[in-house]
A and B are shown apart, each in its own frame.
Chain A
Amino acid sequence: MSIFFGIDVGSVSTNLVLINEENEVIYSSYLRTQGRPIEAIKNGLIKMLSSMPQGMDIIGVGATGSGRQLASMIVGADVVKNEITAHAVAAANQIPDVHSVLEIGGQDSKIIILDNGIVSDFAMNTVCAAGTGSFLDQQAARLGLTIQEFAALALEAKNPVRIAGRCSVFAESDMIHKQQLGHSTSDIVAGLCQALVRNYLNNVGKGKDIKAPVIFQGGVAANPGIKIAFAEALGLEIIVPKHYSVMGALGAAILAREAVAQNGKSNFSGFGLIHSDFLTSSFECKGCPNLCEVIELFVDNTLKARWGDKCNKWSDIIEDAI
């Protein structure tokens, strides 16, 4: 059977998805990146290969997420796409007439507006990451809860407290203050969910025309407290798709299918490289006052790629040599 592989290397999680020719998900995995993207990609691939049934033939690969270039270097992707396009494609695949996509990931959040399955407008958080997944993680840890317990607790709230959510540090001070006033943990957790939603709608969703059907995806969609807070704030039904946590990877896989259909062939280099040794190092170029930090990628002790230089003089040498 011919299948397509999508990989999404994000700040917090590395997700892998396999789809068949009908765009149906046949495998998905969600791993923590933990600041070591190369290891996360390798572990993800090893895990996927061991659970892949016989007779599956990967004929296209797509990469997305902030680590998409790195992922593409390891597996040889047919398409390397930004997260916005990937998420929009996946959302339109799950709910064909979707109008608004709310996506909250580990460190970024975005809103995508579609018109007949085509993106017509989008926005990403720009200057502040208050109210993204990492913040919820932190607060859960501070309350001594796992992120799953944290999510469940929000549902028990009777009177959510109002928390100032503009800045994550001040939100934390405000939370501590509310705890010391004697509010219950569940009310505080629910209040935090509402603060996050308020922050999102004011900063990312400002000026956007949010209409039904609304999809809520990304890692944070696992939290029903946030889903309820969104539904209350928007007065609309919020749909959390089945594969909400791996939508980026799903989108990348669908884009790979489109790219292969168009090009007629794949760049996929096989999984030969997953047992290779990947090493990155960096140096500061002293060629001009920009002092760019040039990053070098070594595969089995051979220099394979360089990036990070503004003028491309270091990256060009490698490209010309290869």
Chain B
Amino acid sequence: MKITFPHMGNLYIPVKGLLEYLNLDVIVPPPSSQKTLNLGVKYGPEFACLPLKLNLGNLIEAREIGADTVIMAGGVGPCRFGLYSQTEKEILNDLGYDYDCLVLEPPDKHLGQFIMRLRKIIGTNSWWRVIDAIKFAYQKAYAVDLVEKKVQHLRPLEKKFGTADSIYRHVLNTINDAQSINSLQEATNLGILKLEQIPQNINSEVIRIGLIGEIYTLLEPFVSFDIEKELGKLGVQVTRSLYLSEWINSHLLMNYYKKEQSKPFAKLAKPYLNYFVGGHGRETIGYAVGFAQEGYHGLIQIAPLTCMPEIIAHTILPRVKENYRIPILTIYVDEQSGKAGFLTRIEAFIDLIKRQQENNKRRIVL
């Protein structure tokens, strides 16, 4: 059994760590690229959103290098993603790719059903071993986030742009290779140490932007045109509403780890949206409010085109914008999006914020 799974940003690092801890054979698909997207667009339904197309491309590419079993997340909420594991299974089947598909989703009949599905993956491993593996995977996700947050902080400050990113790429590899908690800790500490040595411009003013929206487009830089890097170039410090470890902790581990918890987004969203609308619609609103209260200069919402939960959030955001007087830009991406138009919009948006800041300062001086 050679197991693979679709990409979503750095998700491959904890998932690979988890499965290898259970002595399973793992094949990580090649990083999402134009070729991946082309494959997905060719075989996927046009009206599906971008994540399906890339997932499909990932699985086709993984099949080509020998994977025979897929682990997919399912879901039962109003977001279309819940259906994608089945859709992808059908499409792969039609294409003649013989895959064993294991869908992890909340049980709709009884808990036994879920445990049976899980047994199929974990084989003869004991439950204790499984719990250890989950802990190890969480530690990996946490390490990745720790390093990533450091990079987000450094990008607008570094003297030579791109230094932090090249260290970041290297550290991700060492974290990915770490086989034990000790070597993981070592890799993380070394990475943080290296990042702290980067020459920085002192006194440079940074703009703080909160990035909100749908999880896949937030976490996968290939689909968001490397938005965080591009914003970094424009002197912007980015904070996302979603980090992998926080998400794993709150959605899968019932907040078992207390150190890193996500914002109480449901509470923050309540005056605007007090209902679970699927996907990350409520998170988007909740975090928009949270970031605005913390004094962020602006918000960028990013989502796949036709994403229903984010469209709901998009229509509510103007009220947040009005109440907190915070600029908000919404960007939808799909396979038709072009980088030039994207850059024009974010540059104009950052200009808007910078000019507003200067104007405010002038007012204070007067």
Contact A289–B30 (Cβ < 8 Å)? yes
Q: Is B173 an interface residue (CB 8 A)?
A: no
A81–B341 Cα gap in the complex (Å)? 13
Interface of A is mostly: loop
- A170-214 interface code vs B (CB 8 A; 1 in, 0 out): 000000000000000000000000000000000000010000000
Contact A116–B359 (Cβ < 8 Å)? yes
A84–B329 Cα gap in the complex (Å)? 14
Partner of B341, one of A85, A124, A288, A292: A124
Contact A118–B359 (Cβ < 8 Å)? yes
- B334-352 interface code vs A (CB 8 A; 1 in, 0 out): 0010001101110111011
Q: Which residues of A contact B33 (CB under 8 A)?
A: 288-290
- B297-340 interface code vs A (CB 8 A; 1 in, 0 out): 00000000100000000000010000000010000100010001
Partner of A120, one of B318, B336, B351, B352: B352
A312–B336 Cα gap in the complex (Å)? 22
Chain B residue, CB-CB nearest to A310: B226
A207–B316 Cα gap in the complex (Å)? 11
Q: Is A72 an interface residue (CB 8 A)?
A: no
Nearest-Cβ distance from residue A221 to partner chain B, whole angstroms: 20
Q: Is B109 an interface residue (CB 8 A)?
A: no
Contact B34–A290 (Cβ < 8 Å)? yes
Q: Is B241 an interface residue (CB 8 A)?
A: no
Q: Which residues of B contact A290 (CB under 8 A)?
A: 33-35
Nearest-Cβ distance from residue A280 to partner chain B, whole angstroms: 15
Contact B36–A82 (Cβ < 8 Å)? no
Contact A289–B36 (Cβ < 8 Å)? yes
A207–B315 Cα gap in the complex (Å)? 9
Q: Which residues of B contact A207 (CB under 8 A)?
A: 318
Q: Which residues of A contact B251 (CB under 8 A)?
A: none
Q: Is A66 an interface residue (CB 8 A)?
A: yes
Contact A291–B351 (Cβ < 8 Å)? no
Known contacts A288-B33, A289-B30; A122/B352 CB under 8 A = yes
Contact A289–B35 (Cβ < 8 Å)? yes
A124–B327 Cα gap in the complex (Å)? 16
Q: Is A1 an interface residue (CB 8 A)?
A: no
Nearest-Cβ distance from residue B166 to partner chain A, whole angstroms: 11
Q: Is A103 an interface residue (CB 8 A)?
A: no
Partner of B355, one of A66, A118, A127: A118
Contact B351–A81 (Cβ < 8 Å)? yes
Contact A312–B345 (Cβ < 8 Å)? no
Q: Which residues of B contact A83 (CB under 8 A)?
A: 344, 348
Q: Which residues of B contact A85 (CB under 8 A)?
A: 347-348, 351-352, 355
Q: Is A121 an interface residue (CB 8 A)?
A: yes
Q: Is B66 an interface residue (CB 8 A)?
A: no
Q: Which residues of A contact B226 (CB under 8 A)?
A: 310
A119–B355 Cα gap in the complex (Å)? 8
Chain A residue, CB-CB nearest to B226: A310
Interface of B is mostly: helix
Chain A residue, CB-CB nearest to B339: A310
**Could you count the A-B residue pairs with CB atoms below 8 Å apart for me: how many are there?**
60
Total number of A residues with any Cβ neighbor in B under 8 Å: 23
Q: Which residues of B contact A312 (CB under 8 A)?
A: 162
Q: Which residues of A contact B30 (CB under 8 A)?
A: 289
Q: Is A126 an interface residue (CB 8 A)?
A: yes
Tell me which residues from 196 to 231 in chain B have a Cβ below 8 Å from any Cβ of chain A.
Answer: 226
Q: Which residues of B contact A291 (CB under 8 A)?
A: 34-35
A310–B33 Cα gap in the complex (Å)? 10
Q: Which residues of A contact B34 (CB under 8 A)?
A: 289-292
Known contacts A120-B327, A288-B33; A82/B351 CB under 8 A = yes
Nearest-Cβ distance from residue B306 to partner chain A, whole angstroms: 11
- B258-289 interface code vs A (CB 8 A; 1 in, 0 out): 00000000000000000000000000000000
Q: Which residues of A contact B356 (CB under 8 A)?
A: 118-120
- A109-133 interface code vs B (CB 8 A; 1 in, 0 out): 0000000101111101011000000
A116–B358 Cα gap in the complex (Å)? 13
Contact B327–A82 (Cβ < 8 Å)? no
- B114-158 interface code vs A (CB 8 A; 1 in, 0 out): 000000000000000000000000000000000000000000000
Tell me which residues from 27 to 60 in chain B have a Cβ below 8 Å from any Cβ of chain A.
Answer: 30, 33-36
Tell me which residues from 283 to 297 in chain A have a Cβ below 8 Å from any Cβ of chain B.
Answer: 288-292
Report the 5 A-B pairs with minimum CB-CB distance, sorted nearest first.
Answer: A84-B348, A289-B35, A289-B33, A119-B352, A85-B351
For the complex with contacts A84-B348, A116-B359, A289-B34, 14 further pairs of A-B residues with Cβ separation under 8 Å are A82-B351, A84-B344, A85-B352, A118-B359, A119-B351, A121-B327, A124-B344, A126-B341, A288-B33, A289-B30, A290-B33, A290-B35, A291-B35, A310-B226
Which residues of chain B have a CB within 8 Å of any CB of chain A? 30, 33-36, 162, 226, 305, 318, 327, 332, 336, 340-341, 343-345, 347-349, 351-352, 355-356, 359
Q: List 7 A-B contacts (CB under 8 A).
A: A66-B344, A82-B347, A83-B348, A84-B344, A84-B345, A84-B348, A120-B356
